[in-house]
Structure 1
Amino acid sequence: MVIPVHDLNPTRRTPWVTYALIAANFVVFLLTPAVSGSATGQGTLAQLCHLHAFTEQWALVPRELIHGRLPALVPTGDTGVGVHGPGCVLGPPTYDKSPALSVLSAMFLHGSWLHLLGNMLFLFIFGNNIEDRMGHIRFTLFYVACGYAAGYGFALLNADSAQPLIGASGAIAGVCGAYLVLYPRARVWVLVPFLIFLPLRLPAWIVLGFWFVLQAFYSAGDAVSEAGTVAYTAHVVGFVVGMLLVLPLRPGTPPPPEPQGLLFGRRARPGAQRPGW
């Protein structure tokens, strides 16, 4: 797995929407119940019950989205003692949840610092160029459309699942798909774990293409590590939709300028031939 840290693809305008999305995701995360224990995955029972109730109300639940009805019992946020010991109390929902709007709210929820930081890193690196090419309003609509496509795609393939789905991954996957179409030859600095983190400058088609293949591999169930805890299908759907939506913009997109002076982190000698990725 490669970790992107920076791309060599300048922009013409300030990506205010990208910055606003990143800020909004951090604010929502900090306001999420039990966030203090999310770094270690630990928390008190009361905090975890409150978090489960919060997530149930605002996350995307495939069964609710496809069948259009709320469950009879949901976590209330309270704790109690049952036949199996202490646990979270269930009760009738006291809120009126819109399953369709939950797709949007779920795009701003994250389960841990690692989940949040990973998503925001990809959005920060690749979102600015897509916003620069589309403009602020079209980029906002594009981001939301990819998130909805990813959410509904995952729900349709898991129609009977009651497992909440959260995260901006589907929308950001759409951004990555658009970047691959518009700027396949843009250079991206990545860290490759090989004994140590080895910095390399690679073309975007390798970085994002490898990422997509990995997501598709996991979504097919061929990998056994964490395939049941991450919505890889949503990543694949968002990525493909992002690619398709941005295709009309491709003919008018100039290629990124060729980086000058640096060759794999070192200053190139005059006359040295650069690799033609």
Structure 2
Amino acid sequence: MFPIRDHNPSGRTPYVTYILMAANIGIFLSYVGIMQDVRLINSFWMDWALIPARLDAGDGSYTLVTSMFLHGGWMHLAGNMLFLFIFGDNIEDELGHLGYLIFYIAAGIAAGWVQYASAPGSNIPTVGASGAIAGVMGAYLLLFPKAKVDILIIFIVFFRIFPIPAWIMLAMWFGFQFVGGLGSDPDAGGVAYWAHAGGFVAGLAFALPVWMKRGGPAFWSRTDGQPPHPEARYRVGASSIPKISRRRGPRGPWS
């Protein structure tokens, strides 16, 4: 289950979101050629990835920023860019181009510090824009809790697109990160659950002044949690998967 789009069009061109996407993709392409060389990629991670033990030693504070522009593979990159594309434009619309850029970097740094705090002596490198994008999602939850988000559910050969309120999808996502963090070993590598959860909370907190400036609870009362403009509408065609009719046959033992 993952989101594919929202019904919340932005009122201005999200230049910063596009630039961030281009930067992430361009940087990944610049080093993807060495990812099969263990020595070279490990050296690259040592220089630019967030390594908690290095921060613990008072070194590499710049990696709190550089690490959020690195990715560990094509699917890692594609997933993050999809989430940024869906939710980033609306937050940029609300914060303005410069304000959004500052917000994004601040959320990513906060996510990095939370990941560090979860295992300060770890030598496992952390990379990815997930923490900063989680901050964008936290802000989206606060400002547009009832905006519709289309999610794609895939189960073997069955797939279906469902529109659901943003707060359900985002709350479920945060819940998965929090529970995943409780059950994970930060020293074992894998998903940086605490960076995701920390970035989400930081983004929500950083967006609070904007929400309060618009009236806080009164803003929700005016908009009912919906975007302050007509929602986008999409037509979803019928599934191309053929339906198999169920025929009754003789009963008996089956091997």
Identity of aligned residues (%): 45
Q: Distance in 2 between matches of 1:260 and 1:140?
A: 25
Match of 1:15 in 2: 14
Q: Count residues with an aligned counterpart.
A: 224
**Alignment partner of 2:146: what SS?**
coil
Counterpart position of 1:140: 101
Structure 1 or 2: more helix by fraction: 2
Q: Distance in 1 between matches of 2:123 and 2:196?
A: 19
Contact kept, 8 Å, 1:66 with 1:156, in 2: the verdict is: no
Residues 129-157 of structure 1: CA deviation (Å, up to 9, x unaligned): 00000001110010010000010111122
Superposed displacement of residue 64, structure 1 = 1.0
Structure 2: which amino acid aligns with 1:235? H
Match of 2:92 among 127, 131, 142: 131
Q: What is the deviation of 1:214?
A: 0.6
Give the direction of change, closer, same or farther, for the CA distance of 1:261–1:149 in structure 2 (3 Å limit): closer
Code of the aligned partner of 2:55: L
Q: Does the residue aligned with 2:5 lie in a helix, a strand or coil?
A: strand
Partner of 1:24: 23
Q: For residues 64-143 of structure 1, what are the structure 2 equivalents within 5 Å? A: 64-69=54-59, 99-143=60-104
- Give deviations 1:177-212, integer Å, cap 9, x for gaps: 000100011011110123422111111011111111
Structure 2 counterpart of 1:204, from 154, 166, 172:
166
Other-structure match for 2:38: 48
Any gaps of 5 or more consecutive residues in structure 1?
70-98, 267-277
- For residues 98 and 16 of structure 2, the distance between their equivalents in structure 1, rounded to whole angstroms, comes to 8
Q: Distance in 1 between matches of 2:17 and 2:141?
A: 18
Q: Compute the displacement of 1:259 (Å).
A: 4.1
Are the structure 2 counterparts of residues 139 and 249 from structure 1 closer, same or farther at C-alpha, using a change threshold of 3 Å?
A: same
RMSD of equivalent CA atoms: 2.2
Tell me if the contact between 1:11 and 1:128 (Cα under 8 Å) persists in the aligned partners: yes
Could you say what secondary structure the match of 1:107 adopts? helix
Name the amino acid aligned to 1:206: I
1:15, CA displacement in angstroms? 0.4
The counterpart of 1:178, out of the listed 115, 139, 147, is: 139
Give the corresponding residue for 1:214: 176
SS in structure 1 at match of 2:114: helix
Change beyond 3 A, Cα 1:16–1:259: closer
Any conservation in 2 of the 1:174–1:243 contact (CA below 8 Å)? Answer: yes
Deviations 1:39-88 (A, max 9, x none): xxxx3xxx22111111111111101112214xxxxxxxxxxxxxxxxxxx
Kept in 2, the 8 Å contact 1:187–1:203? The answer is: yes
Q: Counterparts of 1:176 and 1:26 in 2: how far apart (Å)?
A: 20
2:173 alignment partner, SS class: helix
Deviation per residue, 1:85-109 (Å, 9 max, x gap): xxxxxxxxxxxxxx11111110100
Unaligned stretches of 5+ residues in structure 2: 238-255
Query: Does 2:193 match 1:246?
Result: no
Residue among 186, 197, 207 paired with 1:236: 197
Give the corresponding residue for 2:52. Answer: 62
TM-score normalised by L of structure 1: 0.76
Could you tell me how far 1:123 is from its partner in structure 2?
0.3
Write the distance in 2 (CA, Å) between the matches of 1:261 and 1:148. 35
What per-residue deviation string (whole Å, max 9, x for no partner) do you get for residues 222-263 of structure 1? x79xx8411100000000010111012225265324548769
